Copies of this chain bind each other. A is one copy, B any other.
Amino acid sequence: MQNSKIRNMEELASVSGISRPTLSKYFNDPDSVRASTRKRIEAALETYDYRPNIYAMNQNRRLTKNIGIVVPYLADPFFAEIARVIEDLVIEGGFRPILLSSHGNTQQEIENLDSLQSIRPAGVLMAPLGRNSDVAAAERFCAEVPTVLFDNSIGDLGEAFFGLDNPQSVGTMVKYLCSTGEPPAFFEMRTPTNPNAYKRRNAYIETMEMLGLSPQLIQVDGDTWEFEKIGYEGGLDAIQNRRLGTNTVLCSNDRLAIGFLAAAYECGLRVGRGPSYALRVAGHDDHPYARFTCPPLTTVAQDYAAIATKSVEAILSLIESGERAESRVTTLFSGKLIERVSA
């Protein structure tokens, strides 16, 4: 295959017999040149090893082919998975994904936005930190770059938002738990960094009251993204000091639940549904590890394939249109109950 190396488009033009502007058009969009010309170019590309200089391209293009993806915490397999799906869809759309994690850190999120701005992305998909996001910085960024938010929202920033319908998903779970055993207490962080957590708390309270039951919150301390640790330590404390008040616990998310399960196990509490078990524990999100906990975790699955797909579609159509959305559109997806052994 690759014979002599080609140094730039000019050289490729000489050896291929195609003019440089036409080659430029081809690399911008292969379908923008005649089929016969495309064949000739691709034949030349087979024999000569050449790829356009990405820096020279991006310097002169009005718009780059870069799409930024910002997630709050990549070490969380949930975000790793959704980022992977998004990356694939972005590539499929002919763009170049740039994945950045904020590592749960405000300053890092700001730097990520800064860093993205300096590469002039065509658009950005962002799952913000939430309470710890620098709203002013995010606002400035969204004013410059077409941005679609997902997972959680800050104010009405961005051109669109795709996320979970927390009232629906939590409501479904609470009703399920109530109809199959004791009403659940709600296990959560006292001051969560994630706005979804507040929505889930409220959804829990509202559903309980709707059912004529009195809600009970078990709130634990912690303000990091080490949710398993927080769930474990808070769970241990709650169990040992008998702050549970019921045999059914609904955790605000699966990672907290994983920690809570570890605490229950350590305390010798058998978790599961039925007379021979001491405790029921449910989670929320259908985290990749939820099916491998002991016992497997009953939870509500987020449709992250849908969230990813719709988010990418939204940013691509924004880019294609070249316009900004007239108003922000919010789309919420339903969660799906996943019955396993734990509750």
**Chain A: residues with CB nearer than 8 A to chain B?**
51, 53-56, 58-59, 74-77, 80-81, 83-84, 96, 98-101, 103, 114-115, 118-120, 228-229, 232, 258-259, 261-262, 265-266, 288-289, 291-296
Supposing A289-B289, A292-B258 touch, asked if A103 and B77 sit within 8 A by C-beta, the answer is no
Residues on B with beta carbons closer than 8 Å to the beta carbon of A59: 53, 55-56, 59
A99-B101, A293-B294 known; 18 new pairs, CB 8 Å cut-off, are A53-B59, A54-B119, A55-B119, A56-B59, A75-B80, A77-B80, A80-B80, A84-B101, A84-B103, A98-B98, A99-B100, A258-B289, A261-B292, A261-B294, A262-B291, A262-B294, A289-B289, A294-B294
Q: A292 contacts B74, CB within 8 Å?
A: no
Residues on B with beta carbons closer than 8 Å to the beta carbon of A56: 55, 59
Supposing A80-B74, A265-B294, A292-B232 touch, asked if A51 and B258 sit within 8 A by C-beta, the answer is no
Q: A292 contacts B262, CB within 8 Å?
A: yes
Copies, count: 2
**Interface SS, A side:** helix
25 sample A-B contacts, Cβ–Cβ < 8 Å, listed by A number: A51-B118, A54-B118, A54-B119, A55-B55, A55-B59, A55-B119, A56-B59, A59-B59, A74-B84, A75-B80, A75-B288, A76-B77, A80-B80, A84-B103, A99-B100, A99-B101, A228-B289, A228-B292, A229-B292, A258-B289, A259-B292, A261-B292, A262-B293, A262-B294, A262-B296
